[in-house]
């Protein structure tokens, strides 16, 4: 079965290094049998989560839309910047909203339950955003995702890509490929066999 995998970057900034890395992942996954979905946070603007908002108006429509897209996937690649040794609020907020979704089209759904998640990051600094990835792990586990062990933090963003947009460093490129391979394999073997809704 062809695994369904989405990619989301934790930045919507024009010129985002993480979006660029996400596009490189899309290029590589595009060569496989994966059914690929690209998610762009620019398409899902949401206010900061507030319980009163939810109580008065329900889950924000873009939180619902995002949850619906994610619920249809077997796997998700998060390509996220590190902000102050942790996760960027724009993506954390989107996931917070989506995690509130319990029903879609009248059927019970847990959008992240059993979803296979891989983590990557890129940063101008020499840590590559590694601490951000470590912060993502418990967050994604707490919403029910299976986070794979192999991850990839790419340092020195300004020099990280070659002219074709591939990762310039051989070791980093191998690591990135290995992470994608693992995401594909685990997503295939743990495929959420039926649509949840
Ligand atoms: C509020 C803030 C905090 C940041 N903290 C970190 C950090 O802890 N570690 C790091 O490597 N880079 C940090 N950076 C730099 C980001 O990695 C850099 O801006 C990166 O380009 C953001 O990702 P993007 O290019 O995908 O938008 C921070 C940037 C901002 C705006």
Of 67, 72, 63, give the one whose Cα is nearest residue 37. 72
The tens digit of pLDDT for each residue in 74-97 reads: 999 999 999 999 999 999 999 999
Cβ of 128 below 6 Å from ligand 1: no
H helix or E strand, kind and range, residue 178: helix 170-189
pLDDT, residue 192, reads 82
Residue 23 alpha carbon to ligand 1 centre in Å: 19
Show the domains of the chain with their CATH numbers.
Answer: 4-189 (3.40.50.360)
The tens digit of pLDDT for each residue in 20-60 reads: 999 999 999 999 999 999 999 999 999 999 999 999 999 99
For residue 106, how many C-alpha atoms fall within 13 Å in the half-sphere facing its CB? 0
The CA distance from 191 to 150, in Å, is 19
CA angle in degrees (0–180, nearest 5) for 133-138-197: 105
Cβ of 161 below 6 Å from ligand 1: no
Residue 150's pLDDT band (boundaries 50, 70, 90)? very high
In contact, 101 and 109? CB cutoff 8 Å: yes
**Ligand 1 test: best mutation among 11, 17, 23, 81, most atoms within 8 Å of CB?**
81
pLDDT, residue 1, reads 85
């Amino acid at each position: 079965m062809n695994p369904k995998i989405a990619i989301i970057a934790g930045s919507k900034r024009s010129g985002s290094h993480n979006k660029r890395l996400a596009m490189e992942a899309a290029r590589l996954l595009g060569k496989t049998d994966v059914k690929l979905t690209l998610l762009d946070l620019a398409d899902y603007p949401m206010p900061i989560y507030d319980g009163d908002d939810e109580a008065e108006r329900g889950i924000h429509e873009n939180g619902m839309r995002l949850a619906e897209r994610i619920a249809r996937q077997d796997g998700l690649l998060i390509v996220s910047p590190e902000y102050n040794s942790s996760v960027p609020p724009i993506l954390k907020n989107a996931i917070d909203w989506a995690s509130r979704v319990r029903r879609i089209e009248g059927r019970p759904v847990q959008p992240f339950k059993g979803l296979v998640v891989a983590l990557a990051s890129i940063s101008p600094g020499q840590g590559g955003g590694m601490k951000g990835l470590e912060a993502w792990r418990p967050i994604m586990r707490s919403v029910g995702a299976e986070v794979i062990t192999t991850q990839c933090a790419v340092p020195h963003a300004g020099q990280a890509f070659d002219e074709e947009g591939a990762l310039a460093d051989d070791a980093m490129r191998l690591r990135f490929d290995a992470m994608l391979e693992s995401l594909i394999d685990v997503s295939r073997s743990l495929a959420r066999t039926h649509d949840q809704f």
